[in-house]
């Protein structure tokens, strides 16, 4: 058997990071078994579809470099891969069920459906269709259709039948068919419902493993009934736990922050770090290591080893991983990755000097600005901080002598700067912590920066002395 998996997103909004996680699992499992990973666009919900929704999906998958074997832009033997282009196929298969007596035309109006809903709620029952057209004569139904009356096609769900299916993570799952309403297969606008389209497409596209979110477990009995009605073999079901919000409470949603897949890249996370993070959410390799390449993941991933439980989307872990991946880059590679995050006014001639100084401090690429602004923008040290643990007279003397020493340097490299400043500190026996922190604040406006002497060298002699003079004015004015 050739393993074939799929991702079947709907173009109803920006692609969720959870969809990238699902794509990653389907892709890796197919590649592990030398199979195919299929991208199919499920665009039958026209009311919720957004403009350019399909482009958004493709853009996100391409940004994370998850490549599909068949689907939009690539084609394949089982296309088209966009459901709105397959309407005749669904209608033909729905008609086959009608011909077999396993589906029927339903003419219930919106008012009738609302009345059924209210009656069920009054009895404390879940709202459901009451089956009033289930045994309606076919000839009469066709006459009403010929007269132009609106209708839907529903599945004739067998009554009081045990529905059993096996889930690779959870094992055997059972439902009673009485819990399943006579679901709509074809809507009044001629479009299929998700349930019919997904079953027909998965069968015709020869999907062997359906890996999707656990929220679809309650729908799976409907799909099992359709497979049985058509007489088709079922795929292997794998229902994967959803991600919880970072606080561990509730399904990860837009209301709790950014969940769009592309936003993580826009916020300065590296693609490979995000993928690694998604790999180890709810799954770990046998040796428990947390740093994995995509090739290693493909080799080791098995969906049956996924956790039964939902896991929190731990942003601290993602930050940690991103830092590791940043530091694995060469300076030249990091320079390329940083390009979209470098402010327009940043002096490019300083970039090669700055990158080695901030590399260890970057958590995301967006940190570049806050870690480098003092290399080229004006700084505003606080007088109170400059005078911490020292008198105005002492700080004024320290600044004056430092300015004098730095002015005399023929070369403003970090070793020359360090030698001059350490000589002053030792000569006067100034308190190291007080003196060096005061200089750091005067030159950068920050308490924490890359190494002080290297930072001063990159800022440049003229600008450093300017800033020290400015600090001296602030101190003498107190």
Catalytic residues: 254
4: buried, middle or exposed (CB in 10 Å: 19+, 13-18, 0-12)? buried
Element (H, E) at 4: strand 4-7
Q: Residue 312 half-sphere exposure, CB side, CA atoms within 13 Å?
A: 10
Q: Which tokens sit at 53? A: 């929704």
Question: 3-state class of 176 per DSSP?
Answer: strand
Q: Which tokens sit at 191? A: 């479009």
CA distance 426 to 25: 61
Number of Cβ atoms within 10 Å of the Cβ of 152: 21
Note the residue count of the chain: 478
End-to-end CA distance of the chain: 82
- Pick from 138, 152, 238, 163: which is nearest to 190 by CA? 152
The dihedral built from the CA positions of residue 353, 358, 363 and 365, taken in this order, carries a sign that is negative
- What string of DSSP letters covers 69-91? SBBTTTB-TT---BGGG-HHHHH
**376 in Cβ contact with 350 (< 8 Å):** yes
Greatest Cα pair distance in the chain:
108
DSSP alpha helices (H): ranges in 136-290?
138-146, 194-204, 220-230, 261-266, 271-279
Q: What is residue 249's DSSP assignment?
A: -
Pairing of strands 236-240, 171-176: unpaired
- Pick from 390, 392, 374, 369: which is nearest to 442 by CA? 374
Q: What is residue 341's DSSP assignment?
A: G
């Amino acid at each position: 058997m050739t393993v074939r998996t799929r991702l079947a997103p709907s173009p109803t909004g920006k692609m969720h990071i959870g969809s990238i996680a699902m794509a990653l699992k389907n892709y890796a499992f197919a590649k592990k078994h030398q199979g195919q990973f299929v991208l199919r666009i499920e665009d039958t919900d026209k009311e919720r579809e957004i403009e350019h929704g399909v482009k958004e999906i493709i853009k996100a998958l391409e940004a994370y470099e998850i490549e599909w074997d068949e689907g939009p832009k690539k084609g394949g033997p089982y296309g088209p891969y966009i459901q709105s282009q397959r309407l005749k196929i669904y209608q033909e298969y729905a008609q086959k069920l009608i011909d077999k007596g396993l589906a029927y035309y339903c003419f219930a109006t919106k008012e009738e459906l609302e009345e059924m809903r209210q009656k069920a709620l009054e009895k404390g029952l879940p709202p459901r269709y009451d089956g009033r057209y289930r045994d309606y004569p076919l000839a009469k139904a066709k006459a009403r259709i010929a007269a132009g009356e609106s209708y839907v096609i529903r599945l004739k769900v067998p009554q009081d039948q045990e529905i059993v299916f096996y889930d690779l993570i959870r094992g055997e799952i059972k439902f009673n068919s009485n819990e399943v309403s006579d679901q709509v297969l074809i809507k009044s606008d001629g479009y299929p419902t998700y349930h019919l389209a997904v079953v027909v497409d998965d069968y015709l596209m020869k999907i062997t493993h359906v890996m999707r979110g656990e929220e679809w477990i309650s729908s799976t009995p409907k799909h099992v009934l359709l497979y049985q009605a058509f007489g088709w073999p079922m795929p292997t079901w794998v229902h994967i736990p959803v991600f919880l919000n970072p606080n561990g409470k509730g399904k990860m949603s837009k209301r709790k922050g950014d969940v769009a897949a592309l936003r993580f890249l826009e916020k300065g996370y590296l693609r490979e770090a995000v993928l690694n993070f998604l790999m180890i959410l709810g799954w770990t390799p046998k040796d428990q290591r947390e740093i994995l390449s995509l090739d290693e993941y493909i080799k080791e991933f098995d969906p049956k080893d996924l956790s039964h439980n939902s896991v929190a989307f731990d942003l601290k872990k993602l930050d940690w991983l991103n830092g590791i991946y940043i530091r694995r880059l060469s300076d030249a590679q990091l320079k390329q990755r940083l390009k979209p995050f470098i402010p327009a006014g940043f002096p490019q001639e300083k970039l090669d000097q700055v990158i080695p100084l901030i590399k260890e401090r970057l958590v995301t690429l967006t940190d570049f600005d806050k870690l480098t602004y003092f290399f080229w923008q004006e700084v505003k040290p606080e007088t109170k901080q400059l005078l911490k643990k020292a008198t105005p007279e002492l700080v004024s003397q320290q600044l004056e002598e430092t300015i004098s020493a730095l002015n005399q340097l023929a070369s403003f490299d970090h070793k020359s700067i360090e030698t001059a400043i350490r000589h002053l500190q030792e000569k006067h026996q100034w308190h190291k912590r007080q003196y060096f922190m005061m200089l750091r604040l005067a030159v950068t406006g920050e308490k924490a920066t890359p190494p002080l002497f290297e930072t001063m060298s990159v800022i440049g002699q003229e600008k450093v002395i300017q800033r020290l003079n400015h600090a001296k004015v602030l101190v003498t004015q107190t």
